[in-house]
C-alpha cells in the first residue's frame, strides 16, 4: 500500500571492534527504544564487527547467527532492518547490505566499490548489480560507504528511486567529503539521501565522527549528528519529493546512459 510518508530511524553507534555479541546487545536496546514510528531501521556498514579486513575469521553465511538475529528483530519489532555485514558465499567474502523484512523476506546488495586504500579489494568480492527495494510505495536504492564517491553508479533515470540509502564506516579525517557528497547526491538525483555512519575509534585507531545525515531532494539538510551515539527517526514526505520533481524536471535532461 502506497504511503505519503516514510519513517526511517538512523542508528549511529560506537561499534565494539570485532565483538559481534556486544554490538548486537547494544542494537537491541537501541531498537527497543525507538517508539511507535519504527518502520525502517538503519545500522551502519559492518555493524556487527567494524570495518575489518579479517573476513576469514569473522564472516558468516546467510544462515548464520547475525542474519538470524536481524530476522528475529525485524519480526519482533515489526520493522525493516538494514545494514551491512561480512558474508561468505561459495568461498568468497562480501560486504553485503541486507534488507530484512518482518515477513521474513530478505533482499541484499553487495558493495560495488571496494575501498582499495584499506585493501578491501584484496579480501572481498565486489558486487555488480544495483538493488532497489520497495516499502509502501517508496523505492530505495541501497548503497555502501565508498560507493558514495561514484555518482554514475547511482544516477537516477526517469525517477527510478525516491531514496538513496548509504551505510558507512567513514573516517573523521574525510568527513567533509562524506557530508558534501551526500548533499550532492540528493541535489543531482532529486531524491532524499540518508547516510548512516558510526562514531568512536576502531581497532586500527581510526577515529569516526559519525555525521549521519538526511538531505531532502533540494539538498537541504533535514538532520545531522556528529561525535556522539545517536538514534533518530526522520519522516520523509513523498508529496514534497513529487512537487520538487514536477516544478524542477531536471532528471529528464540527464545524459542517456545507464549502469545496471
Q: Which residue out of 60, 79, 120, 145 is catalytically annotated?
A: 145
Using CA atoms, how far apart are residues 75 and 78, in angstroms rounded to an integer?
Answer: 5
Q: Which residue out of 45, 60, 120, 172 is catalytically annotated?
A: 45
To the query of whether residue 111 is one of the catalytic residues in this protein, the response is yes
* HEC letters along 73-132: HHHHHCCEEEEEEEEEECCEEEEEEEEECCCCCEEEEECCCCCHHHCHHHHCCCCCCCCE
Domains of the chain: 5-252 (3.60.110.10)
Q: What is the pLDDT along the chain (260 residues), one digit of tens a residue?
A: 678 999 999 999 999 999 999 999 999 999 999 988 889 999 999 999 999 999 999 999 999 999 999 999 999 999 999 999 999 999 999 999 999 999 999 999 999 999 999 999 999 999 999 999 999 999 999 999 999 999 999 999 877 999 999 999 999 999 999 999 999 999 999 999 999 999 999 999 999 999 999 999 999 999 999 999 999 999 999 999 999 999 999 999 988 766 65
Cell numbers linked to 78:
515489526
To the query of whether residue 145 is one of the catalytic residues in this protein, the response is yes
Q: Which residue out of 20, 111, 172, 191 is catalytically annotated?
A: 111
Closest CA to 42 of 7, 69, 86: 7
Using CA atoms, how far apart are residues 51 and 45, in angstroms rounded to an integer?
Answer: 7
Using CA atoms, how far apart are residues 237 and 214, in angstroms rounded to an integer?
Answer: 13
| Cα-based angle 92, 47, 102 (whole degrees, multiple of 5) | 90
- DSSP lists the bridge partners of residue 100 as 81, 106
Angle between helices 65-77 and 20-32 (to 10 degrees): 10
Using CA atoms, how far apart are residues 81 and 101, in angstroms rounded to an integer?
Answer: 7
Using CA atoms, how far apart are residues 26 and 124, in angstroms rounded to an integer?
Answer: 27
- DSSP lists the bridge partners of residue 231 as 11
In this prediction the pTM is 0.97
- DSSP lists the bridge partners of residue 60 as 87
Residue 239's φ and ψ, nearest 5 degrees, are -65, -40
Using CA atoms, how far apart are residues 89 and 15, in angstroms rounded to an integer?
Answer: 25
Amino acid at each position: 500500500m502506497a504511503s505519503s510518508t516514510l519513517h526511517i530511524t538512523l542508528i549511529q553507534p560506537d561499534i565494539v571492534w570485532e565483538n559481534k555479541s556486544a554490538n548486537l546487545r547494544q542494537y537491541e536496546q537501541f531498537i527497543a527504544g525507538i517508539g511507535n514510528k519504527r518502520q525502517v531501521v538503519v545500522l551502519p556498514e559492518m555493524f556487527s564487527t567494524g570495518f575489518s579486513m579479517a573476513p576469514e575469521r569473522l564472516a558468516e553465511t546467510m544462515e548464520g547467527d547475525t542474519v538470524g538475529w536481524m530476522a528475529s528483530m525485524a519480526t519482533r519489532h515489526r520493522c525493516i532492518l538494514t545494514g551491512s555485514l561480512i558474508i561468505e558465499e561459495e568461498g568468497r567474502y562480501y560486504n553485503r547490505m541486507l534488507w530484512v523484512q518482518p515477513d521474513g523476506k530478505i533482499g541484499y546488495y553487495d558493495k560495488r566499490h571496494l575501498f582499495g586504500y584499506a585493501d578491501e579489494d584484496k579480501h572481498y568480492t565486489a558486487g555488480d548489480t544495483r538493488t532497489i527495494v520497495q516499502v509502501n510505495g517508496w523505492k530505495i536504492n541501497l548503497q555502501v560507504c565508498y560507493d558514495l564517491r561514484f555518482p554514475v553508479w547511482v544516477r537516477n533515470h526517469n525517477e527510478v528511486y525516491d531514496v538513496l540509502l548509504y551505510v558507512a564506516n567513514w573516517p573523521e579525517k574525510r568527513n567533509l567529503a562524506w557530508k558534501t557528497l551526500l548533499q550532492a547526491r540528493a541535489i543531482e538525483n532529486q531524491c532524499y539521501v540518508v547516510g548512516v555512519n558510526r562514531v568512536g575509534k576502531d581497532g586500527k585507531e581510526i577515529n569516526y565522527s559519525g555525521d549521519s545525515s538526511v538531505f531532502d531532494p533540494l539538498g537541504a539538510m533535514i538532520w545531522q549528528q556528529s561525535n556522539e551515539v545517536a538514534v533518530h527517526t526522520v519522516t520523509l514526505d513523498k508529496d514534497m519529493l513529487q512537487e520538487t520533481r514536477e516544478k524542477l524536471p531536471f532528471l529528464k535532461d540527464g545524459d542517456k546512459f545507464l549502469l545496471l
